[in-house]
Chains A and B, each alone.
Chain A
Amino acid sequence: MWQLFTQNWQAFLTGFWHTILSSIIALIFSFILGSGFAILETNPNKFWRGVAKVYVEIFRNIPLLVVTMFFYLVLPKVLPAMSGFTAGTIGLTLYTSAFIAETVRSGLQSVGTGQMEGCLANGLSYWQAMKNVILPQALKITIPPLGNQFVNLIKNSSVLAFVAGMDLMYQGDVIASNTFQTIPTYIIVGIFYLILTLPLSYYMQYLEKKLA
């Protein structure tokens, strides 16, 4: 197995790098999008609530693979084609943002309407109240479940393999079919995923205890 690794280390590391890159990009944008849609979901305005609801329900209830394939195969029929890496990362971002929206929304709702009314009655605008009082508390509550979403996101990034996204899983597939050493290859791939997800999981458990 060590030999398999030393002979293919460049491919493994390329894959590892693309998995990290895709995960980080998707993490940042899905967090921004998800928080935005969570705020819309709790907005007093019915129209914006409806828009957010439709977005969340669509991306939460369609398989990630289908969303990704849409960007990789369907969209290029009307728009310029994009690489597998880009299509996969976009799919991953939208899919994850729907789950993050639900997580942040429940955090927002657990802060309660009382403090929002306190803010409004004190002269703050809705957005000033969100920014200064409601959101900081909601995000603190949502840190542990958000951590789980981020671990899921890293694991889900393996979807890139289906669209030749150069990620860890994709490189594993290539190496396995070239060397026929299927089992050791996927063990190495698994270890690389653990290197990413285990520290994150433990850090989240630590945070959860600290915030409790």
Chain B
Amino acid sequence: MAIIDFKHVDKFYGGFHVLKDINFRVNRGEVVVIVGPSGSGKSTLIRTINGLEKINDGSLIVDGKDMTDRSTNFNELRRDVGMVFQHFNLYANKTVLENIMLAPRIVLHRPEEENRKEAMRLLQEVNLVEKANNYPRQLSGGQQQRIAIARSLAMKPKVILFDEPTSALDPEMIQDVLDVMKLVAQEGITMVVVTHEMGFAREVGTRVVFLADGEILEDTDPNSFFDHPQTKRARQFLSKVISH
């Protein structure tokens, strides 16, 4: 059953047609990787899934909720649809532990003791227990991103959206973050990932969506996409990103 369902979705920024007739579905447990040249609308596409961007036309159903319906409660939806950003967006005034515990405490009203236990378990999972009482500014980019993933996991979401999670990181930090993302995938959480990490797409992705100029040109399994791209645009793109 589809947990995310785009039907004929269009979006404009003023006169600029950023998403063109988008049709695609994500089933539970899938890891869908969205790739494409920069400026193709990948970030906009993923941000429509939790309502950070509104769509102008078509229908978008996420976890049974109609994203074009004015009465849809986005706060409620976002409890089940987490997001990890390129620039982490951790709370600068809170410690690492508090970053993870805040939303479960004030949104889910999780009991304090259980909340702390769960947060510490997640810190163990992302291998940063010793940073529990540090502030985000005292952490490297890679560490901040792992905390951001832990913060998202603390809500026990059905879906996590990753918007270029490794693009702002130094090369030697990227692998640690990808390893944590692999763990998330193994837990069976549905993932939608915008990334330039083709190795990750091939290894962890269950499907690859290729987006160019706001249009989905390919939507297939990773091996078919990387070994036998159907469109000229995808072949051009792959020859550029694989060559280095």
Contact = CB atoms under 8 A, between A and B. Distances in A.
Partners in one complex: yes
Interface of A: 111, 114-115, 117-125, 128, 132-133, 136-137, 140
A121 B102 contact: no
A124 B91 CA distance: 12
Contacts of A125: 75
B52 A122 contact: no
Which among A117, A122, A124 has the highest number of chain B CB atoms within 10 Å?
A122
A132 B102 contact: yes
Contacts of B152: 121-122
A121 B87 CA distance: 14
Contacts, number: 66
B78 interface: yes
Interface string B50-61: 101000000000
A132 B50 CA distance: 21
23 contacts: A114-B85, A114-B89, A115-B89, A115-B91, A115-B92, A117-B52, A117-B89, A118-B88, A118-B89, A118-B90, A118-B91, A120-B75, A121-B52, A121-B82, A121-B152, A122-B102, A123-B75, A123-B103, A123-B107, A124-B75, A124-B106, A132-B91, A137-B92
Contacts of B106: 124, 128, 132
B93 A136 contact: yes
Contacts of A140: 93
A46 to B, nearest CB: 14
Given A114-B87, A117-B85, A118-B85, A123 B79 contact: yes
B97 to A, nearest CB: 15
Contact of B78 (A114, A115, A121, A133): A121
Contacts of B82: 121-122
B: interface residue count bin: 20 to 34
B103 A122 contact: yes
A113 B12 CA distance: 21
B151 interface: yes
B155 A122 contact: yes
Contacts of B19: none
A98 to B, nearest CB: 27
Nearest to A119: B91
Contacts of B103: 122-124
Interface string B147-169: 01001100100000100000000
B25 interface: no
Contacts of A115: 89-92
Interface in B90-129: 90-94, 102-103, 106-108
B83 interface: yes
A120 B81 CA distance: 11
Contacts of A132: 91, 102, 106
B91 A133 contact: yes
